[in-house]
Amino acid sequence: MALTVAPRRAGEGFDRPWRRRLPLLPALVFTVLVTQIPFVMSIWYSLTNWKIVPPTPRKFVGLENYGDLAGDRFFRDAAWVSVVMTVSAVLLSLLFGTLLAVLLDRKFFGQGFVRTLLITPFLIMPVVAGLIWKNQMLNGLYGVINWVLNRVGIDSIEFVSRYPRASIITVLVWQWTPFMMLIVLAGLQSQSNEVLEASTVDGASAFGTFRQLTLPHLRSYLELGALLGTVYLIQVFDHVAVMTGGGPDSTNLPYFVYQRSIGGGWVFGRASAYSIVVVVASIIVATVALRVLSRLLKGEEIA
Amino acid sequence: MAAVTGLVGVAVASAIGSTTMVDASTARRAASAPAGAERELNVAIVGNPQMEDIADLTPDLFTAETGITVNYTVLEEGTLREVVTRDVGAGGQQFDVVMIGMYETPQFGSNGWLIDLAPYATDDAEYDVDDLIPSVRAGLSVGDAMYASPFYAESSFLMYRQDVLDEAGVEMPANPTWDEVAEIARTIDSDDMAGICLRGKPGWGDLGASFTTVLNTFGATWWAANDDGTIGEAQVDQPEFKAALEFYVGLLADAGEDDAANASFNECLAQYRDGQVAMWYDATVAAGLLEADDSAVQGMNGYALAPVQETEASGWLWSWALAIPQNSPDPDTAWEYISWATGPEYIAASGDLIPGGWAAIPPGTRLSTYEIPEYQEAAAAFAEPTLTAMDAAPIDGPGTTPRPGLPGVQYVGVPEFQDVGNRCTEEFSGVIAGRTEIDDALSACQDIASQASS
């Protein structure tokens, strides 16, 4: 089929590309306004000393908030809690997700039903999950886990009071294991059966097959799960607010910014500075993650 | 073209509609008893039992007579404060009437966020403004301007199971010291019944209130005061502060309730009524609930004044009161509601209607309450200790050193106290829960408190 190029008239070379872009402009302008104006206002607030208790008029103070941030031990603590919470939750849910996926990767009676049950924790609202665990499972006076422990002769443990961060991580792992399980399950089911049969014929043990054939194949799926999990788990707020209400051991960055702004601190200037720093850090992490991800996907195509 | 006509049509229609509404509301304000008019009020209240009672009784006692529908938003104390501060402070119109405490009222009033109720109160004969207990009215006013009307008021004292103490052969003095109380608590503590219930839940109004009275009477304080009344140096690193915290945490560890780090008023109330704790140091309103008709421990309790150590008295002074935000669209209707809810009429009517009976009516606001014969009978055990506690509350000199800001016993009357109190009590609650070392908590709190010093 031959391509015919229409002869260019004067002025048309500029028109055509813009005529294609024009319909996109309203949506683009709307997105830019709605996301960037609040962001620019936040940057402006972070350069002032605005707080409403006691009522203080907004005064420009330059980068003072950012300077104070560096020495603020509570911000550092919150950042550390965020890191620990995210990394633990991601790694543990990957581990349990993989185990469950391996168990589900064979045909047995009721496989569909079991898979549905296993997916359910992921579908529960975070606030509801936090409340169920705090008041029904982990409660020090009438929780289910303590009832079981009492039966075996162990004294009640006040889980959420004594181990707040571990309690939150437990609920996060409970909720995110199904997500990881589904991703890994997809990876397991995309293995070619011929390779697996060949390894069995060659006399490899089940564990040997898993270690040397399955795991390398799963690598890209595990990395995908880890990246998606990290992006979402860094933003956890509901569980912290509902289960522990803050506190030095369990305040992560989102809860800390909330607490310093509308959650009782009312220092909008400083809180805006915190949130700008968190946004910049998130953009860096997200850019790195997307670069790695796109490299992975390109790698898959070539392979 | 058709779309433009349509838009113009909608604009015209809504303009006409809003003019009609404006006319109607002006007409409502002009008329004093509009039969059949649909008036609505949005009221934010805290979820304590006395408030829930009035929320249940409003349709029958108030809406039926005046035609004003009241939409209650019941919130937990911390959330209520946050929502109200945000709304009232930003000039919002989310609520027509808000329930605030004795801590916020003078501050919000001085900020110009609330409507002065004194003109309404003096003009309203049914409200009987001179019947209000003077110290409570003073606590809710700035000069002559009264910024909130008290719904109930309280001090704090020690409640204990007389039968449990008799069985153990110990006697509680009428004016005990903390050392005496701690010894009794440790003596009567057992596996089935904890010796004492103290608040441990983080929050400046939860653990903060209870612990600050202990601080006061141990000779410690949060901040020193500059000569002009502004916040001076943080005093959290002083030995008296540590002694008070060690005492409080130690008492809870030896003889305190289960899961103390999560316990506040409602949790201790439930545990006391269930017979799981033998003593309870908390607000005087609790007595009304313990002696209520539906209480399992009715008639079994004794009451002693708030324990002291180095001061003469240590009971707190607090009131939950109703206020009208500055931008409220219909202050007259809002006052009609407040006049009913905090007036002598509701108090007299509620005794027969609420599940708890006469002992559970909102106490501590009016002298006339204590003249009602049914109340005198039902509250015989605790009415006098309550009034004595409220009179003795050392609002002007709660501790051994001067405090910055406005007067207050279980709090420091500066706006920064909310944030500092919340964050420090988070740390102290961690010590109670056994997951933070006391020195780490004190050093963190000293940092937090120092940020507010000037």
Work out the average pLDDT over B332-356.
92
Work out the average pLDDT over B32-38.
53
As a 3-state breakdown, chain B gives helix, strand, coil percent values, each rounded to 5, of 50, 15, 35
More confident residue, A295 or A118: A118
Reply yes or no on whether the pLDDT at B304 is more than 90: yes
Is A76 within the bounds of a domain? yes
Reply yes or no on whether the pLDDT at A64 is more than 70: yes
From chain A, pick out residues whose CB is under 8 angstroms from the CB of B430.
Answer: 247-249
- Measured over the CA atoms of residue B179, residue B184, residue B185 and residue B191, the dihedral's sign is positive
A76: distance to nearest CA of chain B, Å? 13
Is B363 within the bounds of a domain? yes
Same domain, B137 and B173: no
DSSP-derived letter for residue B129 is G
DSSP-derived letter for residue B206 is T
Same domain, B114 and B246: no
Contact check, Cβ <8 Å, B435/A160: no
Residue B25 confidence (pLDDT):
39
B39: distance to nearest CA of chain A, Å? 32
- Residue among B240, B238, B229, B218 nearest B314 (CA): B218
Same domain, B175 and B284: yes
- Residue among A225, A215, A260 nearest A50 (CA): A260
Give A12's pLDDT tier (boundaries 50, 70, 90).
Answer: low
Is B18 within the bounds of a domain? no
Work out the average pLDDT over B397-425.
90
Work out the average pLDDT over A3-20.
66
Same domain, B333 and B417: no
Do residues B317 and B390 touch, judged by C-beta distance below 8 A? Answer: yes
Same domain, B170 and B268: yes
Of A158, A245, A266, the CB nearest to B202: A245
The C-alpha torsion from A148 through A152 and A155 to A158, rounded to 10°, is -30
Reply yes or no on whether the pLDDT at B207 is more than 60: yes
Residue B9 confidence (pLDDT):
44
**Scanning the structure block, which residue is given the tokens 């907004």?**
A58
Q: Residue B302, by phi and psi: left (phi above 0), alpha (psi -120 to 50) or beta?
A: beta
Is B229 within the bounds of a domain? yes
Give A227's pLDDT tier (boundaries 50, 70, 90).
Answer: confident
For the ranges A128-137, A278-287, B173-182, the lowest mean pLDDT is seen at A278-287
Q: pLDDT averaged over chain B? A: 87
Kindly provide the ipTM of the predicted complex, given to two decimals.
Answer: 0.74
DSSP-derived letter for residue A193 is H
Contact check, Cβ <8 Å, A247/B416: no
Same domain, B45 and B167: no
CB burial of residue B3 (10 Å; 0-12, 13-18, 19+): exposed
Task: Report how far residue B166's alpha carbon sits from residue B219's, in angstroms, rounded to the nearest whole number.
Answer: 32
Give A17's pLDDT tier (boundaries 50, 70, 90).
Answer: confident
Contact check, Cβ <8 Å, A52/B436: no
From chain B, pick out residues whose CB is under 8 angstroms from the CB of A74.
Answer: 448
Residue B453 confidence (pLDDT):
85
**Euclidean distance between the first and the last CA atom of chain B, given in angstroms as a whole number:** 65
Task: Report how far residue B155's alpha carbon sits from residue A246's, in angstroms, rounded to the nearest whole number.
Answer: 29
Residue B439 confidence (pLDDT):
95
- Residue among B108, B102, B37, B97 nearest B73 (CA): B97
User: Max CA-CA distance within chain A?
Assistant: 91
Of B261, B419, B448, the CB nearest to A161: B261
Residue A165 confidence (pLDDT):
94
CB burial of residue B2 (10 Å; 0-12, 13-18, 19+): exposed
Of B89, B259, B436, the CB nearest to A140: B259
For the ranges A282-286, B141-145, B201-205, B410-414, the lowest mean pLDDT is seen at A282-286
Contact check, Cβ <8 Å, B433/A249: no
A286: distance to nearest CA of chain B, Å? 32
Is B2 within the bounds of a domain? no
Is A8 within the bounds of a domain? no
Q: What is the pLDDT of residues B212-222, one digit of tens each?
A: 999 999 999 99
Q: pLDDT averaged over chain A? A: 87
Residue B17 confidence (pLDDT):
41
Reply yes or no on whether the pLDDT at B7 is more than 90: no
Total count of domains within chain B: 2
From chain B, pick out residues whose CB is under 8 angstroms from the CB of A55.
Answer: 89, 111
**Scanning the structure block, which residue is given the tokens 């002559």?**
B144
Highest mean pLDDT of the ranges A83-97, A201-215, A255-269, B120-134: A83-97
Of A139, A140, A264, the CB nearest to B418: A264
Reply yes or no on whether the pLDDT at A9 is more than 60: no
Is B209 within the bounds of a domain? yes
Contact check, Cβ <8 Å, A248/B422: no
For the ranges A11-15, A177-181, B116-120, the lowest mean pLDDT is seen at A11-15
For A14, the enclosing helix (H) or strand (E) is helix A12-21
From chain A, pick out residues whose CB is under 8 angstroms from the CB of B429.
Answer: 161, 247
Contact check, Cβ <8 Å, A53/B85: yes
Contact check, Cβ <8 Å, A246/B262: no
The answer to whether A297 contacts chain B (CB < 8 Å) is: no
Give B18's pLDDT tier (boundaries 50, 70, 90).
Answer: very low
Residue A273 confidence (pLDDT):
93
Q: How many CB atoms lie within 10 A of CB B192?
A: 8
Residue A51 confidence (pLDDT):
82
For B153, the enclosing helix (H) or strand (E) is strand B149-154
Range of the domain at B129: 38-154+318-373
Task: Report how far residue B367's alpha carbon sits from residue B132's, in angstroms, rounded to the nearest whole number.
Answer: 6
Work out the average pLDDT over B207-230.
93
Q: What is the pLDDT of residues A158-215, one digit of tens each?
A: 899 889 999 999 999 999 999 999 999 999 988 888 888 888 888 888 888 888 888 8
Give A303's pLDDT tier (boundaries 50, 70, 90).
Answer: very low
Q: How many residues does chain A have?
A: 303
Q: What is the CATH number of the domain that holds B322?
A: 3.40.190.10
Total count of domains within chain A: 1
Is A280 within the bounds of a domain? no
Chain-centre distance for alpha carbon B233? 28
Range of the domain at A145: 72-267
Work out the average pLDDT over B9-31.
42
Same domain, B354 and B445: no
B427: distance to nearest CA of chain A, Å? 7
**CA of A75: how far to CAs of A42, A273, B438, in Å?**
18, 11, 21
**Scanning the structure block, which residue is given the tokens 């009415």?**
B383
Find the chain B residues whose C-beta atoms sit closer than 8 A to any C-beta of A.
78, 82, 85-86, 89-90, 111, 202, 258-259, 261-262, 414-416, 418-419, 422, 426-427, 429-430, 433-436, 444, 447-448
Same domain, B57 and B78: yes
Task: Report how far residue A295's alpha carbon sits from residue B142's, in angstroms, rounded to the nearest whole number.
Answer: 67
- Residue among B128, B159, B187 nearest B367 (CA): B128
The pair of structure tokens assigned to A93 is: 């849910």
Contact check, Cβ <8 Å, A55/B427: no
Work out the average pLDDT over B411-417.
90
With CA atoms as reference, the chain B residue closest to A53 would be: B415
Is A81 within the bounds of a domain? yes
Residue B186 confidence (pLDDT):
95
Is B380 within the bounds of a domain? no
Same domain, B162 and B310: yes
Is B378 within the bounds of a domain? no
Contact check, Cβ <8 Å, B415/A141: no
Same domain, B209 and B298: yes
Same domain, B359 and B258: no
Is B235 within the bounds of a domain? yes
Same domain, B355 and B293: no
Do residues B212 and B219 touch, judged by C-beta distance below 8 A? Answer: no
The pair of structure tokens assigned to B454 is: 């000037």
Contact check, Cβ <8 Å, B427/A265: no
Residue A249 confidence (pLDDT):
87
Give A97's pLDDT tier (boundaries 50, 70, 90).
Answer: very high
Contact check, Cβ <8 Å, B418/A263: no
Q: What is the pLDDT of residues B72-108, one digit of tens each?
A: 999 988 788 888 888 887 777 889 999 999 999 999 9
Q: What is the CATH number of the domain that holds A188?
A: 1.10.3720.10
Q: How many residues does chain B have?
A: 454
Rounded to 5°, the CA angle B250-B253-B254 comes to 85
